[in-house]
Amino acid sequence: MFVYILTFLLSLVLYTLYKLIINDNKNIRKSSRKAILPPGSMGWPYIGETIQLYSQDPNFFFSTRQRRYGEIFKTRILGYPCIMLASPEAARFVLVSQAQLFKPTYPKSKENLIGPSALFFHQGDYHENIRKLVKRSLSPDTIRNLVPEIESSALSLINSWSDGAPINTYQQMKKYSFEVGILSIFGQLEVHLKEELYKNYSILNQGYNSFPTNLPGTSYRSALKARKRMVQILGEILKERENMQIENNLLSGFLNLKDKDNRSLILDEEQIIDNIIGVLFAAQDTTASVITWILKYLHDYPKLLEAVMAEQKTIQKSKDKEDCLLTWKHTRNMPITYKVMLETLRMATIISFTFREAVTDVEYKGFLIPKGWKVMPLFRNIHHNPEFFTDPQKFDPSRFEVAPKPNTFMPFGSGVHSCPGNALAKQEILVMVHHLVTKFRWEVLGSQSGIQYGPFPVPIQGLPARFWKESSI
């Protein structure tokens, strides 16, 4: 029996490899009649260069190929033929000027966990309407009213830390980002519901980057179960809120969505839940990673920490003269801290690249991008290119005293699929940094260098650290 199963599996693998090779050859024959495929290596059949990418620093993987092949090259990752683009012009071509030729694409396994109706899986009218709603619900005018609640979330978290007790900085910041995400979607929410959502979201998030095997005991299977529990909880919240007075939060916007002609667009429960999970997903790991990196860089550059601390202490004194609360106006007056945040976004480049798929054969600078191939603008390569950022491996916030050249700095993406919640993320970061540098000192534990990817880059082991309240030093 085992021999039959093994024979069947081997036949299936060989058939898959055969189809992939045939498809590649078709694309190559097609390219000879129009344009040529970019240079590069497709690696092994099906596997491609996946092992090389995931077994080494992705910076090394991308930069070595860019040096060898130029700013456009081909490869195969996770079974998909890909075109990599490492110039600002190419990124703009794919994401802005010719965005209609490239659709957002994600593996089906990831769509199943977030939900197929989530904003970032779509384009066209549906995407436009949902994006406008999210952007409006997370606009500066809305966020300025959220500042006291964001501050309360930050204080609640950091006041729970025991002086000198080791913490995993990244994991703590994920709690904070999740709390702010909940605030932006629901406003106030019962503690037990937040706790249940966070518990199940954490399981879902773990499975998101695991091998998508739906077998008992696997992370992916656990993630699917956790999603079902989240759907149940969110469904109950929707039933409670659907007849309530219109509030100024994202959920209210979903329940009362209108199109550009002010006609009501009724989203069903599944669509709303998919988009809520999508917003939570987009809001958590990325922002938590940025805050973690800021604390790492401030720890590594004491003079910079002193400058940020002095700026924030001045704001602290002005708060004492008023009502002791941080306001939107205060966060607009943090130029040094703001440049530190921008330089962190450049150096760390939390989103190293984005996935698109060519919806038709496309020619770019004499090269063919075949229909169905994945297309990946490489933000990290652009952010670390010495042509655009002098001495790019040096952490230097002063470089942002002058605005970067167009399309060379894209920490939140670009075009119609850029992050609509970037203003909220920036506000969340500034509020947390203000309270950490005015109330705490910290010491990084263990290795002072190293990066782990899961998939977002964070300092090794999530930056273990000890924090002390300033008054106790």
Q: Point out which residues pair with 376 in neighbouring strands.
A: 84
Closest C-alpha to 272, from 231, 313, 244:
231
Q: What is the CA radius of gyration of the chain?
A: 24
Q: How far apart are CA 137 and CA 139, in angstroms?
A: 6
**Does 419 belong to an annotated binding site?**
yes
The Cα 190–Cα 79 span in angstroms is 44
Cα–Cα distances in angstroms (integers) from residue 154 to residues 151, 173, 466, in the given order: 5, 9, 17
Cβ neighbors of 183 (< 8 A, separation 6 or more) are: 146, 149, 150, 153
CA distance 40 to 72: 9
Instruction: Round to whole Å and give the CA distance between 119 and 253.
Output: 14
Closest CA to 78 of 110, 113, 46: 46
Residues with Cβ within 8 Å of residue 68, at least 6 apart in sequence: none
Q: How far apart are CA 274 and CA 204, in angstroms?
A: 13
CA–CA separation, 346 vs 354, rounded Å? Answer: 15
Residue ranges at the known binding site for heme: 419
Residue ranges at the known binding site: 419
